A = this chain, B = another copy of it.
Amino acid sequence: MNVIDQSVAKAMARSVSTITEETTASEIAGLFAERGIGSAVVVDPDTDAPIGIVTESDIMRQVALSADITSVHAGSFMSAPVITTSSDESIHKAASLMKEHSIRRLLVVDDDDIVGMLTTTDLTHYLPRLRNTILRDRDDLVGQ
């Protein structure tokens, strides 16, 4: 298997922050600052099913619209549905999916359970490792 065909599981983050449709924009901004994160998944509180996602850009848009961020709720400005992938999908296909949808994050779902999040930052951190493996791979081939 070529290294670039490795799975999403190798590069994704396993911790995902969740909120509900009722969470306000200012609460979300506080959560992002406190945890140093840039997105939260909106889940149905009864089933834990992902129903949307809120990113820094979504909060920014509310600020730009001069919305009252202490009262505007995630449900009214989240992006939905969430674009998802599975942990055994290949990294290059995940990258293509992000490009296709012009998004920076993919929620990773296996058998209806949220198992992680893959971001453009995760893929960038993966690049130098990818290069080393490619060069080793190439040396092996040339040595054959």
Q: Indicate if the CB atoms of A121 and B141 lie closer than 8 Å.
A: no
- Say whether A113 faces chain B, with CB atoms less than 8 Å apart: no
Q: Indicate if the CB atoms of B95 and A60 lie closer than 8 Å.
A: no
- Say whether A12 faces chain B, with CB atoms less than 8 Å apart: no
Q: Indicate if the CB atoms of A92 and B57 lie closer than 8 Å.
A: no
Interface size class, chain A = 35 or more
- Say whether A10 faces chain B, with CB atoms less than 8 Å apart: no
**Contact code string A29-40 (vs B, CB < 8 Å = 1, else 0):** 110111000100
Q: How far apart are A123's CB and chain B's nearest CB, in angstroms?
A: 5
- Say whether A109 faces chain B, with CB atoms less than 8 Å apart: no
Q: Indicate if the CB atoms of A95 and B56 lie closer than 8 Å.
A: no
